[in-house]
Structure 1
Amino acid sequence: MKNFLILLLSIFFFSCQQKENKNTTVAVSDSVLSKKTNKDDKQTTAENKQITDTIVMNFRNEKGLFEAEGSLDSIHSKVFIKFKNENLGELNAQIIPAEGKGNIRFNQILFPDKTSDGPFGMDLKIELKQKGDYILVIGHSLMADNPYFGKFKVQLENKKK
């Protein structure tokens, strides 16, 4: 009886392992197909896009500003804006909600040395005294009613000293 039970358990675990391997190969092949179609398009647009809850600011617009569109919803109640600072100076940042006004603000700024500051409002002016990767956290104010859910635009301008 013990041997039969051990045999059944090993077959069960082996069959579960087979299903997991099949799913991962399908996911890999889907990502390979999407990469091939992206390369074939040859249409590269310089945009800063929100992926899940993060926007990486890599591209500047014609005015020299980092600009991106994002959205807050019940799943992603905070959006993280990542950018690299190579010059010391002043950061001017602004949030523009799609509806004009809303309970949305810069909650926090994380500096390259892992310190932080905040909260701020919809506008942010702060001295950048370090070179490296910065993270801005955008969300609704916990002190106010009606959390903001919807689209917004973020503009960052780094003025050199």
Structure 2
Amino acid sequence: MKNFCMLLLSIFFFSCQQKEIKKNPVPVSDSVSVIEKENIEKNKQIGDTIVLNFKNEKGLYVAEGSLDSIHPRVYLKFKNEDSGEINAKILPSTGKGNIRFNQIIFPDQSSDGPFGMDLKINLTQKGNHILVIGHSQMADNPFWGKFNVELEQKKQ
């Protein structure tokens, strides 16, 4: 019986030992910055915001976003360095839908809107601008789903 107890105890101790696994840990700050750089370069939606930093080969800011019950509005943030005109379009994935540019917020916190699916406006202020995209509350059937946005800046 003594031998049997000793055998059980030794099996118990050996089975409880954990092996040390050696990994090359990636610093958290490095992995987060890589993910942020990828998202910025592709103009991706993070939460309810799309930061437009990357132009495509045609010189347009292009981004894909989505509206759902959690994010009924999407905020496009872009920086305007020079006075000029912007042309923007919303292209819903379904072809048509109750979606529009609700508002533009200027650097001095003044705003203008609402607009339609196309926007053409002169910008006289330099700085960060915000375009608010959502559905028209005056119409039925709010838009839920994916859409693409194209924004072109023209200097004067």
TM-score, normalising length: structure 2: 0.77
Cα drift, residue 87 of structure 1: 1.1
Matches within 5 A, 1:1-161: 33=28, 35-36=30-31, 39=34, 46-161=41-156
Change (3 A) 1:37 1:118: closer
CA distance in 2, matches of 1:32, 1:150: 36
Larger radius of gyration: 2
Percent identical pairs in the alignment equals 66
Aligned length: 129
Cα drift, residue 36 of structure 1: 3.3
Change (3 A) 1:149 1:34: farther
CA distance in 1, matches of 2:64, 2:97: 16
* Runs of 4+ with >2 A deviation: 31-39, 43-46
CA distance in 2, matches of 1:91, 1:78: 20
Greater helix proportion: 1
CA distance in 2, matches of 1:35, 1:135: 29
Unaligned stretches of 5+ in structure 1?
Answer: 1-30
What is the root-mean-square deviation in Å for CA atoms of aligned residues? 2.2
Amino acid of the structure 1 residue aligned with 2:79: K
Amino acid of the structure 1 residue aligned with 2:99: I
Aligned position for 1:21: none
CA distance in 2, matches of 1:124, 1:37: 34
CA distance in 1, matches of 2:92, 2:27: 36
Amino acid of the structure 1 residue aligned with 2:43: N
Unaligned stretches of 5+ in structure 2?
Answer: 1-25
